[in-house]
Amino acid sequence: MDVEINSLPEIKKEGLALDIDDTLSWTFGHWIGQMQKLFGNPENLSVEEIMLKYNRAQDVPYWQSKEVKAWRKTNIISNDLQTNLPLIKNSNIFVNKISNIVPLVAYITTRPESVIEGTKTWLRTNDFPNLPIICRPDGIPHENGSEWKAKILENLEQSVKGIVDDNPNLLNFLPSDYKGIIFLYNRHSVNSDLNAIPCKDWETVYEEVKSAFNGFS
């Protein structure tokens, strides 16, 4: 599918963008914990073991029933679920420290636009900076989220100089001449010709942003 970007938000300052799910909030882990409780855990795996074994909750073979799919569909658009997500420890502290090195200009998330209110509440409750939130338009399917986000980054390249994001698949959709820096959170290595930096934790994101943007603002 070729994702069309119809309207772009205006970003006035130059700086860095942030992903939300699994970068700031412990989204995947929270979903898995809920699904284990509701739909069983036949392999008797911990949340972390499931995260390692399966890339996405929709890939877990025993969570494929109609009931599970209906539950997922309801919860993906639930503002309550977004509001109650656990925080990735200290992500808020490092984000605020990073804002002293380089301006933070937007959150760019593949969450659907319908959960923007729950997202705003969660960010505010956890002391994250108040920035524009760019959400996936409801007309773009969840499966095309990485492609959509890459298009947004490409289109905003003049102002958005990079992003902190956990999703390596994003790199597959960015053009080869993309100049922004992808700080790949929660990764030990990265295989790409783009300017992508693996960051095993938030301390590393902070150090890498510091060396990339020293003297920027």
- 147 sits near Mg ion (criterion: CB under 5 A): no
Q: Is 21 in the site for Mg ion (CB under 5 A)?
A: yes
Stretch that binds Mg ion, among 18-26, 117-125, 150-158, 192-200 (CB under 5 A): 18-26
State which residue, 39 or 201, has the beta carbon closest to Mg ion: 201
- From the CB of 109, what's the least distance to Mg ion, in Å? 7
| Site membership for Mg ion, residue 166 (CB under 5 A) | yes
202 binds Mg ion (CB under 5 A): no
Nearer to Mg ion, 21 or 147 (CB): 21
Beta carbon of residue 27, minimum distance to Mg ion (angstroms, whole number): 7
Which span sits near Mg ion by CB under 5 A: 2-10, 39-47, 166-174, 199-207?
Answer: 166-174
HSE-CB for 13 with a 13 A CA cutoff: 13
Binding mask 22-61 for Mg ion (x = CB under 5 A): xx--------------------------------------
Q: How many CA atoms lie within 13 A of 43 on its CB side?
A: 13
User: Using an 8 Å Cβ cutoff, are 149 and 1 in contact?
Assistant: no
| 23 vs 36, beta carbon nearer Mg ion | 23
Residue 4 CB, nearest approach to Mg ion (Å): 22
Cβ proximity to Mg ion, 41 vs 131, nearer residue: 131
Helix H, strand E, coil C: the string for the chain is CCCCCCCCCCCCCCEEEECCECCCECHHHHHHHHHHHHHCCCCCCCHHHHHHHCCCHHHCCCCCCHHHHHHHHHHHCCHHHHHCCCECCCHHHHHHHHCCCCCEEEEEEEEEHHHHHHHHHHHHHCCCCCCCEEEECCCCCHHHHHHHHHHHHHHCCCCEEEEEECCHHHHHCCCCCCCCEEEEECCCCCCCCCCEEEECCHHHHHHHHHHHHCCCC
Could you tell me how many residues of this chain bind Mg ion (CB under 5 A)?
5
Reading the block at residue 211, the tokens are 């060396």
- Taking the complex as a whole, the smallest distance from the CB of residue 81 to Mg ion amounts, in Å, to 15
Q: Which stretch binds Mg ion (CB under 5 A): 11-19, 87-95, 146-154, 209-217?
A: 11-19
Q: Which of 19, 98, 106, 170 contacts Mg ion by CB under 5 A?
A: 19
Residues that bind Mg ion (CB under 5 A): 19, 21-23, 166
